[in-house]
Amino acid sequence: MTRPTTERIRAMLGSAVRVDATADGIPRATPRHEEECALLLHHANAEGWTVAVQGSGAWAAPRPAALVIATTGLDGLSDVSPADLVATVRAGTTWRRLQQELGDHGMWLAIDPPGSDRTVGSVTATGTAGPLRSGFGQVREHILGLTIVTGDGKVVRTGGRVVKNVAGYDLAKLVTGSFGAFGIVTELHLRLRTVPRADQTLVGRGVRDELLDAALAIAEGGVPPAALELLSPGATGGDGWRLAVRLLGTDGDVEAGRNDVCRRAGIALADTSAMESAALWRGAAARAVDGQVTVRLGGLPEGLAATLDLVAHHLDDTVEDWMSATVPAGTVRWTGDARIEDLNLLRRLAAEREIPLTVERAPWETLERLGHFGAYREGVGRLVRGLCDVFDPGAVLRAPVGAT
Amino acid sequence: MTALTQVLSAIEPIVGSRWIRRGRAELETYSSDGLPTLHARPGAAVLPGSRDEVIRIVRALAQYHVPFVARGAGTGLSGGALAQADALLIILTRLTRILQIDPRNRRATVEPGVVNVRLSNAAAPFGLHYAPDPSSQTACTLGGNVAENAGGPHCVKYGVTTNHILALEVVLPDGDVVQLGSPGGDPWGPDLVGLFVGSEGMLGIATRITVRLTPLPTAVRTLLADFNTLRAAGEAVSAIIAAGVVPAALEMMDRNCVGVVESSIYAAGYPTDAAAVLLVELDGMEDDAVADVARAVAALLADHGARTIRTASDEADRQRLWQGRKKAFGALGRLSPDLVVQDAVVPRSTLPDVLDRIAAIGDRYGLTVSNVFHAGDGNLHPNITFDRSDPDQRHRVERASVEIMEACIAAGGTITGEHGVGRDKLRYMPALFDANTLGAMRAVRRVFDPEERCNPGKVIPIHACREWTTAKRTIT
């Protein structure tokens, strides 16, 4: 593997850019602008260096590479427009900082990704929505436009700052959730919401399938709550399964929602204080990295009991791990430690049921063998391969998306 | 014998000769879509009767390297479904089956020729509907909606087409059939469904479409407010959005438009002396909660200078208020021989300024510009009525349209919010995207369609693209 020296990278970028070495002695650059990022990737492509992208280090495991590009220098909110409910933010900004600054303007981004202290770029690259997916959709739904630097150092700007836009292909959708296969995201335009006046979480306790039935009954009602999440003991740090229902909106909305949810649930749902509910949601997100591997299975709401059984049977038969089901979306996320063979078998069995299994995070050795994806339908693998060749022609980023 | 003639001989046994159109007169029907300013007569047209026939046709086209264009109801407004003389038009209006409605999981699978409103009607008994509702929803097809990423008045709350498509079956230009997305909507890999929706028919033909269904709201309030100035109405829109209200629809019409509607058979009782009227719809599941929001919105409207605020008293009244809005384009069409329906989006906070600028541009060119649009999204539809047979008018319309687009781009906006680029807006693309980004779009297109035969000449201005070389990677 060709590898540049730290001095070479320093000379390339000038003294204003931080260049150091990782614990393994790999040169690491922290560019401050997309042009510097483009310069690095242009050279990497020309010289055959492989590149690993590092955010805050809170989600993805390190991977071998000739050069590390840290995105933490690409940080800060470039623009916030409360009247338009749109913000432009650089990808290295931490989630916490983003929400804090938006909060100062009375706004927020309605995504609560698993993990904590992650960067905006990490959440975008992995497409990891949390429980709020019930009410607000996937990560892709919140991104109006973005800038990427491709594997060979080209800058591509797609979408825009307006909330409705069909000019050109929707490359932002392609990039979101592609695990960095098509480039390094440097900046995003995000769709915001005003901070709701009322925010109430109700919690039910009981046996898993009883809670799931209650959740399905709630979901069958009208509009799904902001969150309708089934959480394993490992996810809450408690001693049994929980059903957590989050209602957001005006006081009237939340009151109406509570009545509706309680009527449909058929089980007791207890109010929580603001402090308790914040601890519940934050704790569950933080524990999502308690274990080396996180996978997501995307099925249908009706099939959730079977999906949960499938995961439990193959990865977690003592039900001690972190597990969470976003009921209206039909998705299950699991975190723990698992053997590659078990993950592979689970992926195959899930695929037979038309359920994609995405490896959201794992040690490099696992990812390299399994790929983030890897159960492509006939004819789709070649499209993904072709797209990787377009955006990463020198295989500099070589994201394990099953394209090699 | 041309390649097209050859391929028609191969296609005739597939569909039967009665479903092939070759004569000049019968092809004239397909020589334009909803946009009156562009014309192109296809070399021939074929109307397949099934998904299998579509696949076999596309395979034959691949074999003879013949370009093709898929077409639904032809209600598009960007010339996106026009085909040139060397190309075959594939009309999908016979593929009209609703294959499945799955109320428990809130999804449905349809063929591409299903008309938008028909799906909502079929889902209604389950308390569900298909939320994106273009003004042409009684005619336009879901295949066309997918190609164009269609919007509609209620998209301000419920999202546009792309937010509602879970999975697609696509025939690629080489005749391969691929399944994109999964029943629940999670992707098997990078989000190819998200890429396909809005690609304007250039990556392949969708033969099966799985969509998300949305609960029908059980409580609705519809308000009509009128203003002395367009600016005041625009500011009221900003105030509603900034207050955190998520209206189900937030539509604006200006004086010209109201006048036309009120003098037509669709008269809805809009005040004709107002500079602008706003139609605000709020919906939800609980009547009290919706009524509360309606009161708050009424207060905001009054604060921003609404002269009168009327609330629909019952469903019939509500339908009447909407009728004026939904039929506005039709009413405008009666005003003069031709109508250009423009489409652009600006940041919502810039609406008052941009509306002023558009009015000034219309005045300067001596044209009547009528605005009827999705104000809640900042999605403008400045419409220019004119007479195509007058070359001078045609020229002025052309100049004014360019200036309106320039004004929207300068305000931080985009050149199309829901109608697509098609052929009509190719020329504006370089003002919005640099050569690298356009080059990326073209390179992506070539992954799906290396010969660029599938709806050629749309969306990407090829001369403005930077050439992307795709290194052939050794497969390991």
Q: For residue range A255-303, what is the model confidence (pLDDT) as tens digits?
A: 989 999 999 999 999 999 999 999 999 999 999 999 999 999 999 999 9
pLDDT tens, chain B, 476 aa long: 799 999 999 999 999 999 999 999 999 999 999 988 899 999 999 999 999 999 999 999 999 999 999 999 999 999 999 999 999 999 999 999 999 999 999 999 999 999 999 999 999 999 999 999 998 999 999 999 999 999 999 999 999 999 999 999 999 999 999 999 999 999 999 999 999 999 999 999 999 999 999 999 999 999 999 999 999 999 999 999 888 899 999 999 999 999 999 998 888 889 999 999 999 999 998 898 899 999 999 999 999 999 999 999 899 999 988 988 888 888 888 878 888 889 999 999 999 999 999 999 999 999 999 999 999 999 999 999 999 899 999 999 999 999 999 999 999 999 999 999 999 999 999 999 999 999 999 999 999 999 999 999 999 999 999 888 765 554 43
Q: Would you say A161 and A86 are in contact if contact means Cβ atoms under 8 Å apart?
A: yes
| CATH assignment of the domain containing B68 | 3.30.43.10
Average pLDDT over residues A119-123: 98
A20: distance to nearest CA of chain B, Å? 31
Containing domain of residue B450, as a range? 433-475
pLDDT of residue B411: 97
Residues B67 and B171 in one domain: no
In a domain, B70, yes or no: yes
pLDDT band, residue A332 (cuts 50/70/90): very high
* A59-92 per-position pLDDT tens digit: 999 999 999 999 999 999 999 999 899 999 999 9
Q: Does A352 touch chain B (CB under 8 A)?
A: no
Do B223 and B209 sit in the same domain of this protein? Answer: no
Distance from CA of A328 to the nearest CA of B (A): 8
Q: Are B179 and B253 in the same domain?
A: no
B51 and B124 assigned to the same domain: no
The residue of chain B nearest to residue A296, with distances taken between CA atoms, is B186
Residues A301, B105: C-beta atoms closer than 8 Å: yes
Cβ of residue A200 closer than 8 Å to a chain B Cβ:
no
Nearest chain A residue to B179, by CA: A377
Q: Which residues of A touch B444 (CB under 8 A)?
A: 169, 171, 174, 387, 390
pLDDT digits (tens, 9 = 90+) for A345-396: 999 999 999 999 999 999 999 999 999 998 788 899 999 999 999 999 999 9
Domain co-membership, B200 together with B245: no
Within-domain flag for B17: yes
Domain assignment present for B206: yes
Same domain, B246 and B156: no
Enter the DSSP assignment of A302.
G
- Give how far B441 is from chain A: nearest CA, Å: 6
Q: What is the percent of chain A where pLDDT is above 90?
A: 92
Please give the pLDDT value at position B475.
42
Looking at beta carbons, which residues of chain B come within 8 Å of A165?
345, 414, 416-417
Min distance A279 CA to chain B CA atoms (Å):
26
Q: What is the pLDDT of residue B1?
A: 74
CATH code for position B251? 3.30.70.2190
Q: Which of residues 104-133 of A touch B (CB under 8 A)?
A: 127
Give the pLDDT score at A312.
Answer: 95
Interface membership of A167 toward B (CB under 8 Å): yes
Candidates A83, A356, A383; nearest CB to B182:
A356
Residue B1: exposure state from Cβ atoms within 10 A (0-12, 13-18, ≥19): exposed
Q: Are residues B104 and B197 in the same domain?
A: yes
Number of Cβ within 10 Å of residue B203's Cβ equals 23
Q: Which of B186, B215, B244 is the last residue of a domain?
A: B215
Same domain, B222 and B211: no
- Nearest Cβ partner for B345 among A81, A164, A298: A164
A42 near B CB under 8 A:
no
Distance from CA of B242 to the nearest CA of A (A): 5
Measured between CB atoms, does A183 come within 8 Å of chain B?
no
Task: Tell me how close the Cα of B263 comes to any Cα of chain A, in angstroms.
Answer: 32
What total of structural domains would you count in chain B? 4
Size of interface A-B (CB pairs under 8 A): 280
CA–CA separation, B5 vs B8, rounded Å?
Answer: 5
Residues B315 and B239 in one domain: yes
* Band (A221; pLDDT cuts 50, 70, 90): confident
Last residue of a domain, one of B158, B181, B215: B215
- Do B121 and B165 reside in the same domain of the chain? yes
B430 interfaces chain A, CB cutoff of 8 Å = no
pLDDT of residue A270: 97
Q: Give the pLDDT mean for A173-193.
A: 98
In a domain, B398, yes or no: no
A368 in B contact zone (CB under 8 Å): no
- List chain A residues with CB under 8 Å of B429: 167-168
Predicted local distance difference test score (pLDDT) of residue B468: 83
Q: How far is A256 from chain B (nearest CA, A)?
A: 6
Residue where a domain stops, chosen among B25, B56, B91: B91
Q: B317 and B285 in one domain?
A: yes
Interface of B with A in 123-162 (CB under 8 A): 148-149, 151, 155, 159-160, 162
Tell me, yes or no, whether B140 and B180 share the same domain. yes
Answer yes or no: pTM beyond 0.95. Answer: yes
Q: Is A264 on the interface with B (CB under 8 A)?
A: no
Three-state secondary structure string covering chain A = CCCCCHHHHHHHHCCCCEEEECCCCCEEEECCCHHHHHHHHHHHHHHCCCEEEECCCCCCCCCCCCEEEECCCCCCEEEEECCCCEEEEECCCEHHHHHHHHHHCCEECCCCCCCCCCEHHHHHHHCCCCCCHHHHCCHHHHEEEEEEECCCCCEEEEECCCCCCCCCCCHHHHHCCCCCCCCEEEEEEEECEECCCEEEEEEEEECHHHHHHHHHHHHCCCCCCCEEEEECHHHHCCCCEEEEEEEEECHHHHHHHHHHHHHHHCCCCEECCHHHHHHHHHHHHHHCCCCCEEEEEECCHHHHHHHHHHHHHHHCCCCCCEEEEEHHHCEEEEEECCCHHHHHHHHHHHHHCCCCEEEEECCHHHHHHHCCCCCCCCCHHHHHHHHHHHHCCCCCCCCCCCCC
CATH number at residue B137: 3.30.465.10
Residue B353 in domain: no
pLDDT of A404 above 80 = no
| Domain annotation covers residue B395 | no
